[in-house]
Amino acid sequence: MNFKIFNELCKFILFTSKKYNIDSSHDITHSMDVLHYAHNIYKKEVYLNPGIKSHENIIYLASTLHDMCDKKYMKEEEGLHSMELFLKDKIKISDEERNVVSSIINTMSYSKVKVNGFPNLGIYQSAYHIVREADLLSAYDFDRCLIYGLNVRGENFENTFTRAEELFKNRVLRHAEDNLFTTEYAKTCYPALHLQAINRISSWKRILHISS
């Protein structure tokens, strides 16, 4: 990915975030976070599977754009259509690459994987898992979950904290147990993030004088 492409990505993400009131839990900050995780996973995986080298741009594009059609903020079909037009007009990738980016984004969410399992994307399966697992690693940020609750749900902090803690217990802290990690980097990286999330929740409880 070069500066020209990333400039266009940033403009599109900023525009879309403003249009649909996407808060900081899913805006360009999160896009950049997932992109860096995807890069780290890719650099590890490319040694194991050199064939994915030609999929690098697909991985980076899907990583940065993945929440620009999130149904929590907009109609998913509308977001996907806008994203596909952007990729066609501004990034000018091939039709196949554009379709793969859309397919990855449209099938990678936790809720869709739990219901439908992993899709079969053929030669792009590794790219799919890299992007999906980068997003999962980013999900260990407990404060990000709080920010979403405060901004989108409009709840008070007590309800936001309770809901976030339940989500982490039932979902985020079960990622490995639910066999959601396939890449070596994610399997190696997640334990530290898991512990960090537990410590963050404990720290909030001490601040708020909540007994465990």
Instruction: Tell me the average pLDDT across 132-159.
Output: 93
Residue 153's pLDDT band (boundaries 50, 70, 90)? Answer: confident
pTM above 0.85, yes or no: yes
**Tokens matching residue 35:** 């992109």
pLDDT of residue 67 exceeding 70, the answer is yes
- For tokens 């079969």, the residue is 120
Element at 147 (helix H, strand E): helix 142-148
pLDDT digits (tens, 9 = 90+) for 75-95: 999 999 999 999 999 998 999
Hey, where are the domains in the chain? 3-208
pLDDT at 32: 97
pLDDT at 149: 92
- What is the CATH number that goes with domain 3-208? 1.10.3210
Encode 69-93 in three state secondary structure: CCCCCCCHHHHHHHHHHHHHHHHCC
- How many of the other CB atoms lie within 10 Å of CB of 100? 23
pLDDT of residue 212 exceeding 70, the answer is no
Instruction: Tell me the average pLDDT across 143-149.
Output: 95
**% the chain with pLDDT above 90:** 92
Instruction: Tell me the average pLDDT across 41-61.
Output: 95
pLDDT at 211: 79
Residue 196's pLDDT band (boundaries 50, 70, 90)? Answer: very high
pLDDT at 92: 83
Spatial distance between the Cα atoms of 38 and 20, rounded to a whole number of angstroms: 25
**Tokens matching residue 188:** 């190696």
Residue 70's pLDDT band (boundaries 50, 70, 90)? Answer: very high
DSSP string, 115-128: HH-----GGGHHHH
Task: Look at residue 64 and give its three-state secondary structure.
Answer: helix
Spatial distance between the Cα atoms of 208 and 212, rounded to a whole number of angstroms: 11
**% the chain with pLDDT above 70:** 100
Residue 199's pLDDT band (boundaries 50, 70, 90)? Answer: very high
